[in-house]
Structure 1
Amino acid sequence: MMMSEINDDSIEKASRRVQKAALGFKRLGFVSFWAQLALSLVSAGIVVFTILYRSATKINAEIGLYFTLFGVIFSLISTFWTLGYGRIGRKLEKSVQEPQNAPSRAQVVRSLTTGIQINMTGLTSTMLGLQASCGLLFAKSLSFAAQNPYTVASNSSPVMALDIFVVQASANTLLAHFFALACSLWLLRTVSSNGQQAEGKVVQQPSET
């Protein structure tokens, strides 16, 4: 009788943990997808327009712009990768009633780890692009100041509006990657803690009998 009550209590606690994890995957997957999509589309529009404009006006695009473009591409990949988090959440929700259809912990961890790797790659590329763009803006400002040391005000400017837009695109892309990375790490921590608790219960059960 005692053993039956312990097993029922363990099953109930395990079900609650699975339901909590499923809710987390669905909510964070949904929020992460739309946040990344909005930020990534704005950044992609800015970067593509800047590249086309520079090509049309015969102005060479700096290397930082291409690093930012690479980061935007990875941000879009991450955006659609997070759709899988919602599917994992729905599978976990169904597994409460159908345990045989539950995704394995290894599959869930692999999916989250892949998402983290995508975001880390995109973050690195975007940060390099941002550094290069800021360095170019600083060089333009110094060059203009050296050539016009006595100019107080002028209608001309060494910095174009598109240069500022590229910095804005880099900032948006960094925010998208950071948001997705935070969600993936939180979900990975949840999955890892649930797995450790489950393993601990399995080890303790023989001593209780």
Structure 2
Amino acid sequence: MTKADSPTLREIASTFRLTGWISFWVQLVLTVISSAILLFASISNRSPTTSPGTSVGVVLTVCGIGVLGFNMFWAIARYVSIGRRLDGVPETRPKKAEAIQTLRMGLIASLIGTLLALLGAEAIVGLLFGKAVSQGVAGFVNTDPAKFIQPLDILVVQASINVILAQFCAISASLWLLNKMSRQ
């Protein structure tokens, strides 16, 4: 048994494949849920006046979902692929530096997606705070229904938080694999 065929290498290959698939499925489920919530919110929002905070927040959250699409592709196309190549013919095995570079790229994408989703959530929460303050001002009677916090507003916040959670899962998967690689 050579070093290339060691149990450690097989364990790393298996870890890459398993982590890639788990990361893919967790991100897919959370992405579908977030997308469905945002689609439902956009269809259900029949208000003639749309708050700019909601629009910016939704756009940033949708951009975070776009990055999740890349992350899901990365989990399957790169992490699972590296796991398969590590188990394959020694000449086709990726070098450690290539695997680490792949993990870094996944981390960078996940961090960008997290930033976009966090900014989207901040914009939406800021808008909700403004609505809450305008409802609670003493002596002020608000009759404009667009200024009230609606259950749909909370769903949009939930969509942003789901995107952040999915990005967190992608970051965790990349860090887990990086940790396994550094132990080799």
Q: TM-score range by the shorter chain?
A: 0.7 to 0.9
Structure 2 residue 161 is the aligned partner of structure 1 residue 167 = no
For residue 47 of structure 1, report the CA deviation from its aligned partner. Answer: 1.9
Residue pair 2:37, 2:159 contacting (<8 A) in 1 also: yes
For residue 12 of structure 1, report the CA deviation from its aligned partner. Answer: 5.1
Equivalent residue runs for 1:113-128 within 5 Å: 113-128=104-119
Residue pair 2:100, 2:181 contacting (<8 A) in 1 also: yes
**Post-superposition CA distance 1:55-84 (Å, at most 9, x none):** x54332532121111111111221121002
- In structure 2, the partner of 1:26 is 17
Q: Could you tell me which amino acid in structure 1 is paired with residue 152 of structure 2? A: L
Q: Could you tell me which amino acid in structure 2 is paired with residue 193 of structure 1? A: R
Identity of aligned residues (%): 32
Structure 2 residue 169 is the aligned partner of structure 1 residue 145 = no
* Alignment equivalent of 1:100, drawn from 60, 81, 91: 91
* Alignment equivalent of 1:46, drawn from 37, 51, 63: 37
Residue pair 2:67, 2:113 contacting (<8 A) in 1 also: yes
Aligned length: 177
SS across alignment from 1:82: helix
Structure 2 residue 83 is the aligned partner of structure 1 residue 89 = yes
Gaps of 5+ in 1: 1-7, 195-209
For residue 167 of structure 1, report the CA deviation from its aligned partner. Answer: 0.7
For residue 113 of structure 1, report the CA deviation from its aligned partner. Answer: 1.1
How does the TM-score come out when normalised to structure 2?
Answer: 0.86
For residue 90 of structure 1, report the CA deviation from its aligned partner. Answer: 1.1
* Alignment equivalent of 2:179, drawn from 189, 194, 197: 189
For residue 14 of structure 1, report the CA deviation from its aligned partner. Answer: 6.0
Partners of 1:50 and 1:44 in 2: CA distance: 10
Q: Could you tell me which amino acid in structure 1 is paired with residue 163 of structure 2? A: T
Shift in alpha-carbon separation, 1:30–1:148, aligned structure 2, 3 A: farther
Highest RCO, 1 vs 2 (Cα 8 Å, sep ≥ 6): 2
For residue 110 of structure 1, report the CA deviation from its aligned partner. Answer: 1.9
Q: Could you tell me which amino acid in structure 2 is paired with residue 90 of structure 1? A: R
Structure 2 residue 8 is the aligned partner of structure 1 residue 17 = yes
For residue 105 of structure 1, report the CA deviation from its aligned partner. Answer: 1.9
For residue 189 of structure 1, report the CA deviation from its aligned partner. Answer: 2.0
Q: Could you tell me which amino acid in structure 2 is paired with residue 50 of structure 1? A: A
* Alignment equivalent of 1:73, drawn from 62, 66, 79: 66
